[in-house]
Structure 1
Amino acid sequence: MRILTVLGLCAMVLLGGPSPSTAAPDGYSWPLRPRPALARAFDPPEHDWLPGHRGVDLVGSPGQAVLAAGEGVVAFAGVVAGKPVVSIDHPGGLRTTYEPVRAAVAVGGRVGRGTPLGTLESGHPGCGTCLHWGLRRGREYLDPLGLVRAAPVRLKPLRAEGRRN
């Protein structure tokens, strides 16, 4: 069993899934339903102070319900730089952010996976009506698609099939 676990973690690293140090707990799902198309991928900057895309943009429609990706506590629900934002603190030190979202939740409120957080507003730069979905652990930005395992892990046999040792 230990060998399978190690092989699985190695495959996740090689195939672009979350690394063992950034693997999220189970129990996360897409913040939009049905599963949205990806408008813009995660593109972190080389250094914190450089420009980059610290989340993903998911295609949505105006007024669409935005759902909590996992259980947690509402850490922020308000406006930042003129954009409505909701942030959720999750177990394990993770924080997800959702913008532009007109909040239907209040700071300090507990949410479960799939709890409506608010509604998606239009006007996101570059895609019109998209949800910018972000993920952080502490000050480190992570790819939120790792929470929903967007890239499935496929392990291959260690030896060719039909070959005998």
Structure 2
Amino acid sequence: MLKLLTSFLLLIQTMTEPLKPPEIWATPIPDFDSRHSWDYHLPATEYGAGHRGIDLLVSPGQQLRAPFDAVVSFSGKVVDRNLITLLSLTGYKASFEVVCTDLTEGDWVSEGQVFGQACKGDPGYHEHCQNCVHFSVRSPYGYLNPLLFVGKLKPSQLVS
């Protein structure tokens, strides 16, 4: 019975895709260190209140550059604002809002290529910060802090 259980656990382990270590991406705007807020806050529950990304402080119309080689997995309006999501070759998704772009789903962007510009939401859209673009990162397991991917946050380590 122990052999069967061990074999089953090994099979399950090989079938599930492990979370890849964070990559280091290029920053989507110049002067990144001084032009973002550090307010990533993962909520306690999947649908709880939180801030699942960081805000990039931008000028109206400022261009944003792809932090990695990617395919556009979404480009369009969500309720009252434009959003674009870039899918990395390793499965991470980076989303940016409010961003206007001519790119459509399936388009390819190279690291450093301009993929859009900061814009305003529809009339009535309530911005949670003025002149900013929200930048979030997701893996198949949920949201992650974008600062980890641009080399500005070191991963936690358990010490004994």
TM-score with structure 1 setting the length:
0.73
The separation in 1 between residues aligned to 2:117 and 2:109, in whole angstroms, is 15
What is the letter of the counterpart of residue 61 of structure 2? G
Q: Which runs of 4+ in 1 moved over 6 A?
A: none
Residue 34 of structure 1 is matched in structure 2 by: 31
| Equivalent position SS for 2:37 | strand
Query: Which structure 2 residue ranges, 5 or more long, are not aligned?
Result: 1-17, 156-160
Equivalenced residue count is 133
| Equivalent position SS for 2:55 | strand
Are residues 1:146 and 2:148 paired?
Answer: yes
User: Are the structure 2 counterparts of residues 41 and 22 from structure 1 closer, same or farther at C-alpha, using a change threshold of 3 Å?
Assistant: farther
Aligned residues of 1:43 and 1:53 also touching (Cα < 8 A): yes
Deviations 1:15-63 (A, max 9, x none): xxxxx9453234x111112325223521010110111101101111100
Question: 1:92-111 residue pairs with structure 2 within 5 A?
Answer: 92-111=90-109
The separation in 1 between residues aligned to 2:66 and 2:88, in whole angstroms, is 10
How well do the aligned residues superpose, as a CA RMSD in angstroms?
Answer: 2.1
User: Are the structure 2 counterparts of residues 22 and 143 from structure 1 closer, same or farther at C-alpha, using a change threshold of 3 Å?
Assistant: farther
Residue 6 of structure 1 is matched in structure 2 by: none
Residue 68 of structure 2 is matched in structure 1 by: 70
The separation in 2 between residues aligned to 1:121 and 1:111, in whole angstroms, is 20
Percent identical pairs in the alignment equals 28
User: Are the structure 2 counterparts of residues 145 and 22 from structure 1 closer, same or farther at C-alpha, using a change threshold of 3 Å?
Assistant: farther
What is the letter of the counterpart of residue 137 of structure 1? S
Bigger CA drift: 32-41 or 137-146? 32-41
Aligned residues of 2:26 and 2:67 also touching (Cα < 8 A): yes
Residue 129 of structure 2 is matched in structure 1 by: 127
Aligned residues of 1:104 and 1:116 also touching (Cα < 8 A): no
Q: CA deviation at 1:138?
A: 1.5
The separation in 2 between residues aligned to 1:126 and 1:80, in whole angstroms, is 16
Deviations 1:80-131 (A, max 9, x none): 0111000011022100001100013121011111111111014672321101
TM-score with structure 2 setting the length:
0.75
Aligned residues of 2:148 and 2:154 also touching (Cα < 8 A): no
